[in-house]
Structure 1
Amino acid sequence: MKELTRITTDPQVMGGKPCIRGLRVTVGTVVGLVAAGHSKEDILKLYPYLEEPDIAEALSYAAWRAEEIEVPLTRA
């Protein structure tokens, strides 16, 4: 996974959910809009402060998280 420079998390912003560049737009919002059939152009009109690379990185982040496996830690 390449380094993500546009996805941020901050407990003070949207409850710590992954957001785009510290803005109050979550990765989930962007992915949801794409899943609902909105084009990149539609999303950029709805959120004019976003940039096209923001959408691409949100999708990359979501794909990475979908493949991630969580393993419970056990004490030795």
Structure 2
Amino acid sequence: MENLQQYISINPNIRFGKPCIKGTRIAVGDILQWLASGMSYEDILNDFPSLRQEHILAALSFAAYREQVSQIIAA
């Protein structure tokens, strides 16, 4: 997904700086946990009407990008 900044914001005054869906207090991690617990896109969208499918895809893309760029530094 291109242009994640369109959907994701990081603000130290919202959710302690966790990446969130713009205009909400819903963190990327929240969406990932809901998906991991077995919720479907439809379940999430029904429970949180302020979200759209693009937000879920942006959260997944954000997490995939972070995983790709994270490194483990051996001590």
The TM-score, its normalising length taken from structure 1, stands at: 0.85
Mapped contact 1:10–1:22 kept (Cα < 8 A):
no
Contact 1:13/1:22, CA 8 A, preserved across alignment = no
* Residue 3 of structure 1: how far off its partner (Å): 2.1
Greater relative CO, 1 or 2 (CA 8 Å, sep 6+)? 2
Larger Rg: 1
Alignment identity in percent? 40
Which residue type is aligned with residue 24 of structure 1? R
Evaluate the alpha carbon distance shift between residue 3 and residue 42 of structure 1 in structure 2; reply closer, same or farther with a 3 A threshold. Answer: same
Q: Where does the alignment leave 5 or more consecutive residues of structure 2 unmatched?
A: none
Q: Going by fraction, where is helix more abundant, 1 or 2?
A: 2
Runs of 4+ in 1 over 4 A off after TM superposition: none
The CA RMSD measured in Å over matched residues stands at 1.7
Q: Structure 1 stretches of 5 or more lacking a match?
A: none
TM-score norm. by structure 2 comes to: 0.86
